[in-house]
Structure 1
Amino acid sequence: MPRGRLRPVDLAREHGLSTQAVRNYEEAGILPAAARTEHGYRTYTGRHAQALRAFLALVPAHGHATATAIMRAANEGATEEALRLIDESHAQLLEDRRTLQAVEQALRSLVPSREPEPAGGVTFIGPLARKLGIRPATLRKWEQAGLVVPRRDPATGYRVYSASDVRDAQLAHQLRRGGYLLEQIAPLIRQVRTAGGLAPLESALRDWQARLSARGRAMLRGAAALEAYLDGQA
């Protein structure tokens, strides 16, 4: 790590940044305050270069806002606050992994029914509720939340559930059993409808898993860079 005085352009060049970006990072508290020459020019040191490396490693792991808060805390000597922010990101990643696992389990459980469908390929609220082991009132609540959108029979006004409605109800049921709230389930149900079924979601789930893995690896890199920076402050 260089020990002499560094110009903004020296820090910027290493990461393909503009010198204004480096100055902005200092003003935001991401970098320690720079010394000034007698003519008012900023001068940086290896510590600033190390802080910039740590910040840029933290961004893919925690996002720009949280990475900024972590570096501000570190530069203010509030190491415990920086660690708390990192812990929160790890907890969120774990929750995201659990959500993905619950979704995958729910989708795997949606095996095609061997029972013949009623005439016209539809079922009614009572039979569907019995099939799922829930009350009809629960299906009505899910309808209000947008999880299931049955049509109404024009002659009787009764709710009629198509095969896709039954699928949505089964998926909602599995996720509710996993402890997920209606507002957490609704976006997934909408994605299933938009995709036209479950099969197109396999690619989305793989992409979701890849993003979680990439973020986990980024957290490791960010932690290593921040530890190097904090160790240099000791």
Structure 2
Amino acid sequence: MGEPESGARREPLRTVDVARESGYSVQQVRDLERLGVIPPAARSSNGYRSYTPVHVRALRAYRGLASAAGPVVARRILAELRTQTLAEAASAVNAVHVRLAREREEALRAQEALRAIQAEANTAEFEQERDAMTITELAEALNVRPSTLRFWEQEGLVAPERVTSLRARRYGLPAIRAARIVAALRGSGYGVVAVREIMESLHRFDGLEEARRILGQRLDRIAVRTVELLRAGADLAAVAATSATTPGEPG
């Protein structure tokens, strides 16, 4: 099953053949076999590795999966395809599509949040009504826990503008804006270090524009990863159809 593009070729494939058809080097083919991305090659009587077209499809599938979800996830999925049912294999691949869609939605929401922040910065009513907030009020407005705001404070991302004698935090308008940007970026999947770099850029005149540019780049990368996953689809289907078991069959 899983007819390869070189399906007319019935003789066993050598390591160099697999490398040429998959786009990997000979050493990479051996390394990926060792890591379990492809099943162990059969050995001929003279000890040489003997591959099949399915190995080529698996390596091509791995390339797209690694680009879309990272090499660790890609290795796990390719290894599990050999023991899962077809339904389980399809579910695992679909989960990568869902993850990419979720990342895209989060990035789009972050972009929308930045646009709202920019609009509010030009609204006099917002300046008057939101001159300060307590940590509880700000946490509720951002739909995060107060402990999250304290963590951001420890990491130098957002700081209250004053703390009363009772150690009650008060956040002024600049801190509120900063917290909203941090929340948008964290919700979009950015790590603390990346968020800190963006927040430092906000001190420049083009701060919000820089944040929007970075989010735009993230959306572009998600689009590229999505295309790579789609490109790997035919190879993944061939590997799954060849390797996966059906319910009730041994793996």
TM-score if structure 1 supplies the norm length? 0.73
How far apart, in 1, do the equivalents of 2:195 and 2:62 lie? 37
CA deviation digits over 1:49-86, x for unaligned, max 9? 22222222322122212221222222335433332322
2:64 to 26, 37, 57: 57
Q: Which residue of 2 aligns with 1:194?
A: 200
**What does 1:153-192 align with in structure 2 at a 5 Å threshold?**
164-171=174-181, 190-192=196-198
Alpha-carbon distance between aligned partners in 2 of 1:184 and 1:230, rounded to the nearest angstrom = 33
Q: How does 1:1-234 map to 2 (within 5 A)?
A: 1=6, 2-76=9-83, 78-110=85-117, 111=119, 112-115=121-124, 127-129=131-133, 137-139=136-138, 141=146, 143-146=149-152, 148-152=158-162, 164-171=174-181, 190-196=196-202, 197-232=207-242
What SS does the aligned partner of 2:54 have?
helix
| Contact 2:18 2:29 (C-alpha < 8 Å) held by counterparts | yes
Shift in Å, 1:34: 1.9
| Bigger relative CO (Cα 8 Å, ≥ 6 apart) | 2
Do the aligned residues in 2 keep the contact of 1:25 with 1:31 (CA within 8 Å)? yes
Give aligned-pair identity as a percent.
Answer: 29
Alpha-carbon distance change, 166 to 232 in structure 1, aligned in 2, over 3 angstroms: closer
CA RMSD, 1 decimal: 3.9
Count of aligned pairs between the two proteins: 218
- Change in Cα spacing, 1:78 to 1:27, as seen in structure 2 (3 Å) is farther
TM-score w.r.t. the length of structure 2 is 0.69
| Inter-partner Cα distance in structure 1 for 2:34 and 2:124 | 67
User: What runs of 5+ residues in structure 1 fail to find an aligned partner?
Assistant: 130-134
1:107 is displaced (CA, Å) by 0.9
- Call closer, same or farther: CA 1:98–1:39 in 2, change over 3 Å: same
**Letter aligned with residue 165 of structure 1:** A
Q: Is the 8 A contact 1:148 1:165 kept in 2?
A: yes
Partner Cα distance (2:131, 2:243) in 1: 67
Listed one character per residue, the Cα deviations across residues 192-216 of structure 1 (whole Å, up to 9, x for unaligned) are 4211231211210110110111111
